[in-house]
Chain A
Amino acid sequence: MKTRAREDQAIIGYLLGTASELEQSQIETRYFREPHFYEEMLALEEEVICDYLNDVLAPAERRQFEHHFLTTPRRRRKYESTRKLLTFIADQGTTQTTTASKPVKPGLLALSARRANDFLLPRLGFLWTLTSLAVLSFGVWMLSNQVSAYRSQVAQEEARQATTQKLPSKLHPKTDKQRPEANKQRNPLAEVADQLQASLDDPPALLSGGTTKAVVSTVVATLRPAHLRAANNAQPVALPAEAATVHLHLQLGDPAPTQFIRFNVVLRTLNGIEILRRQNLTPQVIKSDKSLGVDLPAAKLPVGRYIVIVSGITAKMEIKPVEEYFMSINRE
């Protein structure tokens, strides 16, 4: 949530209908007298709309926005035009990032080197192949030598351990003292193994309930599509009190739809109250799994049941329903 200057706060209170009569008349007198202040008010009005669309308004401001601000046609028109502008700007931002990451044109030197390379490579191809083969064979020979050396070391170590186990038990107190000496002679591989074992044996402070407390800021909720609109289809999501963000990981069915280039996501309560709307989302593809990721503040998800509706946009810009997900939020 953002913090604002006191004057901005007063103006926003005025725009959202929470200012007192005195505050109202102070602000109104000023904008009737000062054209510049009037322009500032209009700019701030637009910023409030942006803040609402960006989920930056405080819950009380958000309520006022929905129940007071959007009651007049002029402000609804302004809201719609700002929403369209923001969607467009978001697209522009993505396009700019893409163009910025285009490969840089090579300089003259690099270009000459590439041309020389292009010229030489086909003619010296045979020689290159021979050299590569020779280097490869040498590498394989070196590697096999190393492996056999390690193998013999491990075999010696095993033989030594076997003799130690056969010693009588009365010698054991001595072996405790001798252990550091023996450790020095041990194989470095065995030391690494010991360290690994030690790290597995000692539980980390985070899990052992020590003084360091685990801070969960983002909770990832993986949701699978529900094919029936039944209450028992709601997937439970437990939110810890300290969670700040919820990342909804929406799996796009099996088989994943291929005809859509982008997706829209709407999150609603089961009573139909819209919590979130994201448009033009690009799916993540990992191997054959397609999914969508949406972040939202955990504060926007009180305990209850929710439905997530995903629609897809085809290359012909047709919007079609894709999947529905049900989740039930519990607080820990």
Chain B
Amino acid sequence: MGDALRSARPAQKCLGAKQAMRKNQRVSEPSRREKGWALSADSFNRLLEGLHEDRDQAGYEYEHLRRVLVTFFDWRGCAFAEDLADETFNRVARRMEEGEIIRNLPDYCYGVARRLALEILPKQSKQEDDPPEFEQLAAVEEDLDERRSREQLYECFEYCLKQLSPENQELVIQYYQTEKRAKIDNRIALANKLGVSLNVLRVRVYRLRATLEDCINKRLNEKKLQEGKKS
């Protein structure tokens, strides 16, 4: 649930260069678009060096840039955003291997990603079937298992909300309260009350929600493990 939400947390542990390397080796096979070229350990190291001198920091930067790329492709409406993000890195690493000097790697990655999106989107729209009607998505009836998992999710929500400080609990609840929204913009009032701008409030709640979702996922996994042991 909410990959991008979790991954964008500022306090997230740095994945580390080794892990990042391992992760990218999954896409080291020749891509459909750039056949005959594969991401080697050297080219990946060069890519990391281009991001930061310090290896750990470079790993962190790499992870962040990858998240941005995935979101970029998603916002552009491309299918398989993760694959396209890795393809972007492959293309950039290849240019670096060919001797191209890159001053600002994030900017360069953006340029490559944009070209890739423009390449992909026309093909995608030809292949794309009609998108499912929204009302069909929303009106799915729940079966018993789904209902159980929903109840479990609610339990986890409750547990995790209590893990936040009382001020933060109140902030999350007030921010998402729906009743008053149609008439008064609840969030503006809340930002004024806290003496912060709407943007600051929005990001603060967004981070809280990311923490909440992290906690919920952990709790759900724990419950699944417990159920597995019982059965």
B2 touches A272 (CB 8 A): no
A51 CB to closest chain B CB, in angstroms? 8
Contact of B177 among A38, A43, A89 (CB under 8 A): A89
A75 touches B142 (CB 8 A): no
Residues of A near B198 (CB, < 8 A) are 5
Binary contact track B167-192/A, C-beta < 8 Å → 1, others 0: 00000110011110110010100000
Q: A145: CB under 8 A from chain B?
A: no
Residues of A near B81 (CB, < 8 A) are 72, 74
Q: Of B36-44, B130-138, B223-231, which stretch is located at the interface? A: B130-138
Q: A164: CB under 8 A from chain B?
A: no
Closest to A71 in B: B131
Question: Known contacts being A76-B137, A85-B209, A272-B135, is A42 close to B68, with CB within 8 Å?
Answer: no
Mark out the residues of chain A between 21 and 65 whose CB falls within 8 Å of any chain B CB in the assembled complex: 24-25, 28-29, 31-33, 35-36, 38-44, 46-47, 50, 53-56
A32 touches B68 (CB 8 A): yes
B121 CB to closest chain A CB, in angstroms? 11
B74 touches A54 (CB 8 A): no
Q: A274: CB under 8 A from chain B?
A: yes
Report how far A78 CA is from B187 CA in the complex, Å. Answer: 20
Q: A90: CB under 8 A from chain B?
A: yes
Residues of B near A115 (CB, < 8 A) are none
Residues of A near B176 (CB, < 8 A) are 50, 85-86, 89-90
Q: B77: CB under 8 A from chain A?
A: yes
Contact of A85 among B3, B157, B202 (CB under 8 A): B157
B81 CB to closest chain A CB, in angstroms? 7
Residues of A near B78 (CB, < 8 A) are 72
Report how far A318 CA is from B78 CA in the complex, Å. Answer: 39
Q: B8: CB under 8 A from chain A?
A: yes
A88 touches B109 (CB 8 A): no
Question: Known contacts being A56-B181, A74-B81, is A88 close to B138, with CB within 8 Å?
Answer: no
Q: Classify chain B: how many residues form its interface, as a range.
A: 35 or more
Report how far A29 CA is from B77 CA in the complex, Å. Answer: 17
- Chain A residues with a Cβ closer than 8 Å to the other chain, count: 61
A234 CB to closest chain B CB, in angstroms? 20
A67 touches B131 (CB 8 A): yes
Question: Known contacts being A39-B8, A72-B79, A277-B138, is A44 close to B202, with CB within 8 Å?
Answer: yes
A66 touches B134 (CB 8 A): yes
Report how far A31 CA is from B71 CA in the complex, Å. Answer: 10
Q: B14: CB under 8 A from chain A?
A: no
B114 touches A28 (CB 8 A): yes
Residues of B near A77 (CB, < 8 A) are 1-3
B219 CB to closest chain A CB, in angstroms? 14
Report how far A31 CA is from B138 CA in the complex, Å. Answer: 31
Residues of A near B10 (CB, < 8 A) are 39
Residues of A near B109 (CB, < 8 A) are 32
Residues of A near B64 (CB, < 8 A) are 35
Closest to A53 in B: B178
A273 CB to closest chain B CB, in angstroms? 6
Closest to B188 in A: A2
A96 touches B173 (CB 8 A): yes
A42 touches B173 (CB 8 A): no
Residues of A near any B CB (own CB < 8 A): 2, 5, 14-15, 17, 24-25, 28-29, 31-33, 35-36, 38-44, 46-47, 50, 53-56, 66-68, 70-72, 74-78, 80-81, 84-86, 88-93, 96, 266, 268, 272-274, 277, 297, 317-319
Apart from A39-B203, A77-B3, A92-B158, what 5 extra A-B contacts exist at CB < 8 Å? A15-B75, A42-B4, A70-B134, A72-B81, A76-B137
